Chains A and B, each alone.
Chain A
Amino acid sequence: MNPTASSAREEILARIRAASGDAPSTDARIINRDYLAAHVETDLVDLLAENLTDYRARVYRAAAPADVAVIVAGLLHGPRLVVPDGVPDAWIPAEATALRDQPALDPATLDLTHAVLTGCALAIAETGTIVLDGGPGQGRRALTLVPDHHICVVRCPEQVVASIPQALPLLDPTRPQTWIAGPSATSDIELDRVEGVHGPRLLDVILLAARS
C-alpha cells in the first residue's frame, strides 16, 4: 500500500470516529425485528408458479425426470443447448446437442447457443424468485446469462421456501449468487414494461414433482 493510500484509509476512519463520537461504545447491537419470517405457510409451489407467471416467466410441471426432457424438447428453438455439470442426463432431450462447459465456453460461443438448461439452489414462493449459486447443475454465472433462453428446473417441494428470510440462511455468501425473478425486463421507456434487454429474454421454469 502506498503512503497516500494508507493515509486515506486512516483519515476516513479518523473522520468517522470524530463524527460518530456520540454513538454508544457498548456492544448493544440488537435490532428489533418486528416483521414476519414468512407471509404464507401453505401451497408454496402453487404460489411460486403464480408469482413467476405474474412476472412473465413460463411455468411447466413435470411428474418425472423423463417429462422434463419432453418439455425441454418442446421449448427449444434450436439444438444447441448448454448443459452445466450436474444436470441429470434424464432431463436432456435426445434431439438436443448438449454443450458442456469443458473447456470453458467463451462468451462468443455462448452467444451462438439456443438455450441453457439448469437446476437451481432454491426458489422463493412469495417473490417468485429462483436462486442460482453455482452449485451442481447450475454452472458458472455466464452460462445462464449469455444464451437468450434459460430453462430452469426446480425440484418441488424440497427446493421451495416461502420467503426471503427463509432463503438467506440456506445460502452460502461465499458462493456467487444470481437471484432471478422473471426474464430480463426494462421499464425505462415511458414506463412500458418490455421483456428482454440483455439477459435471457425467455425464462422457462419446470416444476419437477418430488419422489420422481
Chain B
Amino acid sequence: MTGVYVGMPAFPTAARAATRNAQLRANLTRATHTIRDRRARAVAELEDWEGLRQAGKAIKDETLAHLDDYLLQLEAKVTEAGGTVHWARDADEANRIVTELIRATGGSDDQPHEVVKVKSMATQEIGLNEHLAAEGISAYETDLAELIVQLGDDLPSHILVPAIHKNRTEIRDIFRERMGEWGRPAPEGLTDTPADLAEAARLHLREKFLRAKVAVSGANFMVAETGTLVVLESEGNGRMCLTLPETLISVVGIEKIVPTWRDLEVFLQLLPRSSTAERMNPYTTMWTGTHEGDGPKQFHLVLLDNGRTQTLADEVGRQALRCIRCSACLNVCPVYERAGGHAYGSAYPGPIGAILTPQLRGTASELDASLPYASSLCGACFEACPVAIDIPEVLLHLRERVGREAKEHGGHRLERAAMKAATYAMTHPAVYRAAENAAVRARKLIPKKVPFGAGKAWTETRDLPELPEQTFRQWWKETHR
C-alpha cells in the first residue's frame, strides 16, 4: 500500500535525512538536470512561449475570478452529456463519495471490489488509496512509477516521475519481491533493463485492465463551456482506465477548469513541453459525459474543494491555484534537488508544494509552517513556471503569515521549525549560490501590475508587493540577528 504522509518530520529534519542518502541524491541530480535541459530545448522551439505563458496565466486568473460561474457551467454540461456531478468540501467527503460510488457498482464476496487508477495528484492529496484499503477495496495504481511506489510501500517523490528516487536495480527487486502478492508475478529471470521492467509492468497490469469494472482518475483540465475532461499521459494506462471499465470516477480539484474549448490550445502547448519536454505527450484523452457505445457507461465527476476556496481567499496566495502540475519548478529548484520530494511531506513536492500545501492545509503543524522556508528564493521556479506563478512572492507572503501566527499563538515550536528550514536552505552551498544571483534576475520579470484579465482588477488599486531588494542572506541577517 502506498503510505500516507502522517507524522512526517518538519522539512529540515526530513531534508537532512534525505541529503545523507547518496543514492537518492545522485538519482535526483541526474534526473532533474536531464529533464531541465530537455525542457529548455522544447521551450526554445516556440518563439511565442512568453505569449503562451501570459495567456495561460490570464486564462487561469479569469477562471479563478469567476470560478462559481464556470463550475455551474461545467456541472450543467457534464450532466447534459450523461455524467453525474458530486461536490466534496474536504478529503473525507470526497473519499466517502468515491467509496459509495464503487460500492454501488455491485461486486460480491468472490468478486471483491477493486479499481484501477490513473495517476492523480488529487487522489493522493486526499489519501484515497488508504481510505479504500480500509474499506476493503483494492486500488491498483497503473502508472509505471506509481506502481513502483505502490509495490514498494513507498511515497511518490516527484510530480511527473514519482519513482525518480529509485534506480533500475531497486525497481527490479521490488518487482521480483512484490508483484506476486498483487497479481501476476514478475517474469522469471527479470533483468533490470528499463525495457524488461516496462514489459513486466505491462503483463502484470493487463489482466487488471481487461477485467476492471471501475476506474478512478483525476484530470488535467475540465472545459466549462463543453463539459469536456482532458487527461494527458504517456503509457496508455490512462487510456485503459478511461476507456475499458463500465464506471469511471474522476476526482478533480475545482481549480482545474478552463473556460472555453479554445483555451486548450494554450495549455496543450504549455503542459507537455514544460512537463515531459515533449512537443506532445504520447496520449491525450478527452471525453464529455458518456458516449453511446464507446467507453464507460457511467461517469461520475467529484469536484474537490479541500482547502482550495481558502486558498482562493488569499489575494497573494491564490495564484498557486493556477498550477497545472507540470513539475518544471521542481526540476530547477536547488533545494528540491538536495532535499528530495519526500521532505515536503505532501503529494506536492518542490516549490509548488512549499506554497500550495501550507495554503491547502493551513500552517498549524511544524511541517506546514516550515514549508515556506524551504527555499532560497532564487526565483528559478518563477522563471520556469508556464503559468507565471510568482512562487518567491507567495513564499515571502506565507513566511509573514507563519511569523504572525507564531506570535499570536505563542508558537515558538512553529517558528523554530521554520527557522530550521531556512537555515537548511541557506547552508547548502549550491542552494546558497543560486540564491545570490538569481533573485535580482527574477525581480526584473515581475510586472508591477498584472496587465490584463481578472488579475487586473485584483491589482488595480495597489501595486503587487515587491520582492525585497536584498539577497536572502541579507534578509536573514537583518531579521534574525
Whether A197 contacts B279 in the complex (CB less than 8 A), given A145-B239, A190-B27, comes out as: no
**Bound: A190/B101 CA distance, A:** 37
Which of A10-18, A58-66, A68-76, A86-94 forms contacts with chain B?
A10-18
Question: Within residues 17 to 75 of chain B, which ones have a CB less than 8 A from any CB in chain A?
Answer: 27, 30-31, 34-35, 45-48, 51-52, 54-55, 58-59, 62, 64-68, 71-72
1/0 per position for B230-241, CB-CB distance to A under 8 A? 000011110110
The answer, yes or no, to whether B375 is at the interface (CB within 8 Å) is no
Q: B278 — which chain A residues lie within 8 A by C-beta?
A: 55, 181
Q: Are B34 and A31 in contact (CB under 8 A)?
A: no
B277 to chain A, nearest CB (A): 10
Partner of B87 from the list A8, A111, A190 (CB cut-off 8 Å) is A8
Q: A197 — which chain B residues lie within 8 A by C-beta?
A: 144, 198, 201-202, 234-237
Q: Are B68 and A134 in contact (CB under 8 A)?
A: no
Q: Which residue of B lies closest to A27 (CB)?
A: B66
Q: B86 — which chain A residues lie within 8 A by C-beta?
A: 5, 8
A25 to chain B, nearest CB (A): 9
Which of A152-160, A167-175, A204-212 forms contacts with chain B?
A167-175
**Bound: A169/B265 CA distance, A:** 10
Q: A55 — which chain B residues lie within 8 A by C-beta?
A: 278-279, 282
The answer, yes or no, to whether B313 is at the interface (CB within 8 Å) is yes
Residue of B46, B303, B454 with highest tally of chain A CB at under 10 A: B454
Whether A173 contacts B236 in the complex (CB less than 8 A), given A8-B88, A107-B244, A187-B276, comes out as: no
**Bound: A107/B245 CA distance, A:** 10
Q: A15 — which chain B residues lie within 8 A by C-beta?
A: 305, 309-310, 312-313
Q: Which residue of A lies closest to B209 (CB)?
A: A198
Q: B197 — which chain A residues lie within 8 A by C-beta?
A: 189
Q: Count A-B pairs with CB separation below 8 Å.
A: 261
Count of chain B residues near A, Cβ 8 A: 104
Q: Are B89 and A8 in contact (CB under 8 A)?
A: yes
Q: Are A107 and B282 in contact (CB under 8 A)?
A: no
Q: Are A17 and B68 in contact (CB under 8 A)?
A: yes
Whether A128 contacts B280 in the complex (CB less than 8 A), given A32-B453, A164-B269, A197-B235, comes out as: yes
Q: Which residue of B lies closest to A36 (CB)?
A: B48
The answer, yes or no, to whether B409 is at the interface (CB within 8 Å) is no
Q: Which residue of A lies closest to B456 (CB)?
A: A24
For the residues of A in contact with B, the DSSP-based class is loop
Q: A187 — which chain B residues lie within 8 A by C-beta?
A: 161, 234, 276
**Bound: A13/B87 CA distance, A:** 10
**Bound: A197/B202 CA distance, A:** 5
1/0 per position for B264-304, CB-CB distance to A under 8 A? 11101100100010111111111110010111000000010
Q: Are B261 and A168 in contact (CB under 8 A)?
A: yes
Q: Are A186 and B458 in contact (CB under 8 A)?
A: no
Q: Are B46 and A174 in contact (CB under 8 A)?
A: no
The answer, yes or no, to whether B205 is at the interface (CB within 8 Å) is yes
Partner of A191 from the list B35, B62, B263 (CB cut-off 8 Å) is B35
The answer, yes or no, to whether A180 is at the interface (CB within 8 Å) is yes
The answer, yes or no, to whether B107 is at the interface (CB within 8 Å) is no
Q: B89 — which chain A residues lie within 8 A by C-beta?
A: 8, 11-12
Partner of A176 from the list B59, B265, B291, B309 (CB cut-off 8 Å) is B291
Q: Are A8 and B93 in contact (CB under 8 A)?
A: yes
B425 to chain A, nearest CB (A): 26
Whether A39 contacts B68 in the complex (CB less than 8 A), given A12-B87, A168-B261, A181-B282, comes out as: no
Q: Are B144 and A12 in contact (CB under 8 A)?
A: no
Q: B159 — which chain A residues lie within 8 A by C-beta?
A: none
The answer, yes or no, to whether B195 is at the interface (CB within 8 Å) is yes
**Bound: A34/B284 CA distance, A:** 25
Q: A128 — which chain B residues lie within 8 A by C-beta?
A: 279-280
Q: Are B261 and A173 in contact (CB under 8 A)?
A: yes
Q: Which residue of B lies closest to A31 (CB)?
A: B58
Partner of A182 from the list B54, B282, B285 (CB cut-off 8 Å) is B282
**Bound: A168/B258 CA distance, A:** 14
1/0 per position for A1-41, CB-CB distance to B under 8 A? 00001001101110111111011100001111111100100
Residue of A34, A140, A145, A186 with highest tally of chain B CB at under 10 A: A186
Q: Are A169 and B34 in contact (CB under 8 A)?
A: no
Q: Are A142 and B244 in contact (CB under 8 A)?
A: yes
A59 to chain B, nearest CB (A): 15
Residue of B206, B262, B282, B309 with highest tally of chain A CB at under 10 A: B282
Q: B163 — which chain A residues lie within 8 A by C-beta?
A: 188-189
Q: Are A31 and B453 in contact (CB under 8 A)?
A: yes
**Bound: A112/B390 CA distance, A:** 51
**Bound: A128/B279 CA distance, A:** 8
Q: Are B235 and A35 in contact (CB under 8 A)?
A: no
B167 to chain A, nearest CB (A): 6
Q: Are A200 and B236 in contact (CB under 8 A)?
A: yes
Q: B286 — which chain A residues lie within 8 A by C-beta?
A: 173, 176-179
Q: Which residue of A lies closest to B32 (CB)?
A: A191
Q: Are B226 and A174 in contact (CB under 8 A)?
A: yes
Q: B457 — which chain A residues lie within 8 A by C-beta?
A: 22-24
Q: Which residue of A lies closest to B89 (CB)?
A: A8
Q: Are B305 and A173 in contact (CB under 8 A)?
A: no
Q: Are B279 and A23 in contact (CB under 8 A)?
A: no
The answer, yes or no, to whether B315 is at the interface (CB within 8 Å) is yes
**Bound: A49/B142 CA distance, A:** 31
Whether A16 contacts B312 in the complex (CB less than 8 A), given A23-B66, A35-B48, A178-B283, comes out as: yes
Sample of 16 further A-B pairs with CB below 8 A, known A19-B313, A55-B278, A127-B280: A23-B66, A32-B58, A33-B266, A34-B54, A35-B55, A36-B47, A126-B279, A145-B239, A179-B283, A180-B282, A180-B283, A188-B143, A191-B34, A197-B144, A198-B142, A199-B240
Q: List 8 A-B contacts (CB under 8 A).
A: A13-B72, A15-B309, A29-B66, A32-B453, A34-B55, A182-B282, A186-B194, A191-B34
Interface residues of chain B, those whose CB is within 8 Å of chain A, are 27, 30-31, 34-35, 45-48, 51-52, 54-55, 58-59, 62, 64-68, 71-72, 81, 86-89, 93, 142-145, 148, 161-164, 167-168, 171, 194-195, 197-199, 201-202, 205-206, 209-210, 223, 226, 228, 234-237, 239-240, 243-244, 254, 259, 261-266, 268-269, 272, 276, 278-288, 291, 293-295, 303, 305, 309-310, 312-313, 315, 318, 451-454, 457-458
Closest 3 CB pairs of A and B: A199-B236, A15-B309, A19-B313
